Amino acid sequence: MAAMDKRLARRLGLAGKYVLLLALMVVFVGPFFWLLSISLRGSGNIYSLRLIPEDPTFRNYTETWKNFGLWRPFVNSVFVAVFTLVLNILFCSMAAYPLARLEFPGRQIIFFLILSTMMIPFQLFMIPLYVICLNLGLSNTLWGIILPASVGAFGIFLIRQYYQTIPRSLEEAARIDGAGEFGIWWRIMFPLTKPAIATLAIFIFVGNWSNFLWPLIIVNDERKFTLPVAIATLSGTFVDKTQYLAAGSIIAITPVIVVFLLMQRYFISGINLGAVKG
């Protein structure tokens, strides 16, 4: 009897977990499917809660892409996201290696100072950063968006934690063979951090692809707008065409989903293994 009660309690607990997960899925995924439904509607009540439109059409996507010239902001966003991603992977990996594997005075102090920058809101140093970019001639350029975001404390922390999980015997063997520190980092350590790099890539790509505030501040030329800034102007251009706004939003979301699907197999392992040592 007691065994049956335990099995019943276990099944009820499992059923409760599934119900909770289903409710969370509806809360988080439901708005996306509703947005997708709006983007496919050709006529009828735009704000209807039905997910399957009466007359689905892809005309909203083609008209938004053609009439608003969304291809240019899309290319700008790809340029910014890709270069920011590459620079972050290189600079964060190079900064994390000595903090994780080399012994020198003040190493821990430097690491904690880098981590402390994560507690400073962007709004506090936004104006000084803008003045620096203005003096360097980076205002109203895509490089003015890229360079300030080319390295971050979170990326250094993530890759440093992962470096500490790699056996030191690999470095010792490389040093016996005559490899220098740069060669050890580039040929041994860097290739072994694929899970951490993939995890960082997802965060960096999503963060820079959807970044709105800094591109809005540093760029005022419409030809250099990124996708989030360009889509924000759709609300004024197509005030009576909610379908166009929804279509533009789906276009902006799609690359993020694709990147995550391509790198998801590394994501969990990068999070778990990168947090083993502190």
Tokens of 24: 């969370």
Q: Could you report the per-residue pLDDT of 167-222, keeping only the tens digit for each?
A: 888 888 888 888 888 888 888 889 888 888 888 988 899 899 989 999 999 998 88
**pLDDT number for residue 85:** 94
Alpha-carbon distance of 148 to 139, in angstroms, equals 12
**pLDDT number for residue 270:** 54
Q: Are residues 41 and 98 in the same domain?
A: no
Mean pLDDT, the chain, integer: 84
Residue 232 lies in a domain: yes
Spatial CB neighbours of 59, under 8 Å, sequence gap ≥ 6: 42
Residue 63 lies in a domain: no
Residue 65 lies in a domain: no
Q: Are residues 144 and 16 in the same domain?
A: no
In percent, the amount of the chain with pLDDT more than 90 equals: 31
**pLDDT number for residue 45:** 66
What is the pLDDT confidence band of residue 15, given thresholds at 50, 70 and 90? Answer: confident
Mean pLDDT of 64-73: 82
Residue 62 lies in a domain: no
Q: Are residues 104 and 196 in the same domain?
A: yes
CATH code of 179's domain: 1.10.3720.10
Q: How many domains does one find in the chain?
A: 2
Q: Could you report the per-residue pLDDT of 33-44, keeping only the tens digit for each?
A: 888 888 888 766
Residue 278 lies in a domain: no
Look up the domain containing 13 and give its range.
2-57
Q: Are residues 160 and 240 in the same domain?
A: yes
